[in-house]
Every structure is written in C-alpha cells, then in structure tokens.
C-alpha cells in the first residue's frame, strides 16, 4: 500500500472535505485510493445523458411560468432556454442532437425526448398562439418557427425606437426644437 501512496494512479484528482486526495481513473473504473493512511473509493465520473428524463417529467408540465402570447417572445425564450438548459436538453433545440437514422439504437430515445420537448414548448404557449403550431412535431422546427414568427430583430427594433424618438415632443415642440 505504501507504493500506492508514492505512485497514485493517473487520472483526475480532487481533495475531499477532509483534505484527502481522491483520484478518478480516466477509464471511469471504480477502485480505491490510499492517501494519508485513508482508503477512499474512487468516484466514477458520470455525465447525464441528454436522453435522460426524470420520473416527474411529463409533456404537459409547465417548465416556466412565462407563457408566450405573441408579444413577449424575448422574455419567454430566455426563460424556456434556461429551463431546457437545466434539464440538459438544449442540444435538441440548437440542432446538436439531430434525429438518429432509422435503425439507430438512439432513435427511440431521441423520439421520446423530442416529444417531451414539444409538449413542454406547447404547454408554455397561450392557446391562441398554440393552435397555430399544433402540426409541428419536431422540437427544433417548432422552436425555429416560433423564433421566426415572434422574434423582433434588432434592425426592426432600432427603427421602431428611432421613429419613437423622432416623434417625441417636449411642451408641444419636437425635442430638437426644444433643446436647439
């Protein structure tokens, strides 16, 4: 055991709350590490799959309190993206996790999670808007359709603000006349 203290296995090291070094091997195998006379189990590094769903997840769940009404796209999308990031599902929306080929072992998992995402997105849309997108069954296509339809681009918004500024008046005079 003294040899293990002198030559710890290669891998990721960390110090636990007691000040002992814990090392995880790069292969992800479990084992023990002897350090300072204490034998600790190695912790296997684990990444949660984007295909993982919690037992409490269901397609009708509200994952954000903000409902898209056609006027609040920026607020709605920000809240929904945050919720999807917390659930490790952004890859479906951003296109990083594309639909696997027919026959792929991941196809059923992808279809299941995609259906869940479509349900979550639809549940976060007010009924008058939701009825216009019920035919879209791909989460990424649904997301892109809503963005294209309701997102106010910077150029449009800049034009709106400039128009509003040009129409501003101070004591009945245009702002330029008032301050000029």
pLDDT in tens, 14-42: 545 555 554 444 444 445 445 556 666 66
Is the residue at 76 inside a domain? yes
Tokens of 78: 């920000």
Q: Is the pLDDT of residue 135 over 60?
A: yes
Cα torsion 91, 81, 140, 113: sign: positive
Q: Categorize the per-residue pLDDT at 172 as very low, low, confident or very high, splitting at 50, 70 and 90.
A: confident
Nearest to 2 by CA among 31, 34, 24, 27: 34
Quote the pLDDT of residue 41.
Answer: 67
Is the residue at 125 inside a domain? yes
Number of domains in the chain: 1
Q: What is the DSSP letter of 171?
A: T
Residue, of 160 and 109, whose pLDDT is higher: 109
Q: What is the rounded distance in angstroms from the CA atom of residue 91 to the CA atom of residue 131? A: 26
Tokens of 90: 């952004």
Quote the pLDDT of residue 7.
Answer: 45
Q: What is the rounded distance in angstroms from the CA atom of residue 116 to the CA atom of residue 56? A: 12
Is the residue at 59 inside a domain? no
For residue 77, give its domain range: 72-170
Tokens of 25: 């091997």
pLDDT digits (tens, 9 = 90+) for 74-119: 999 999 999 999 999 999 999 999 999 999 999 999 999 999 999 9
Global model pTM greater than 0.75: no
Is the residue at 1 inside a domain? no
Tokens of 105: 């072992």
Is the residue at 156 inside a domain? yes
Cα torsion 176, 177, 178, 180: sign: positive
Q: What is the rounded distance in angstroms from the CA atom of residue 123 to the CA atom of residue 60? A: 6
Quote the pLDDT of residue 8.
Answer: 42
- Averaged pLDDT of the chain: 81
Once rounded to an integer, what is the mean pLDDT over residues 62-83?
95
Q: Categorize the per-residue pLDDT at 129 as very low, low, confident or very high, splitting at 50, 70 and 90.
A: very high
Quote the pLDDT of residue 159.
Answer: 76
Is the residue at 96 inside a domain? yes
Is the residue at 37 inside a domain? no
Tokens of 44: 């296997």
Q: What is the rounded distance in angstroms from the CA atom of residue 22 to the CA atom of residue 34? A: 9
Q: Categorize the per-residue pLDDT at 137 as very low, low, confident or very high, splitting at 50, 70 and 90.
A: very high
Tokens of 86: 């917390």
Q: What is the rounded distance in angstroms from the CA atom of residue 119 to the CA atom of residue 136? A: 11
């Amino acid at each position: 055991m003294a040899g293990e203290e002198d030559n710890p296995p290669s891998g990721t090291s960390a110090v636990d709350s007691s000040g002992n070094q814990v090392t995880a091997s790069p292969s992800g195998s479990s084992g023990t590490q002897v350090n300072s006379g204490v034998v600790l189990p190695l912790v296997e590094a684990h990444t949660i799959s984007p295909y993982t769903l919690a037992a409490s997840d269901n397609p009708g769940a509200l994952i954000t309190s903000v409902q898209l009404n056609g006027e609040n796209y920026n607020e709605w999308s920000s809240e929904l993206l945050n919720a999807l990031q917390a659930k490790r599902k952004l890859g479906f929306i951003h296109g990083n996790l594309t639909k696997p080929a027919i026959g792929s072992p991941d196809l059923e998992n992808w279809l299941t999670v995609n259906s869940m995402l479509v349900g979550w997105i639809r549940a976060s849309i007010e009924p008058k808007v939701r009825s216009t997108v019920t035919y879209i069954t791909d989460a990424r296509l649904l997301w892109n359709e809503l963005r294209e339809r309701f997102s106010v681009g910077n150029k449009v918004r800049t034009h709106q603000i400039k128009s509003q500024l040009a129409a501003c008046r101070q004591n009945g005079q245009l702002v330029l006349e008032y301050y000029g």
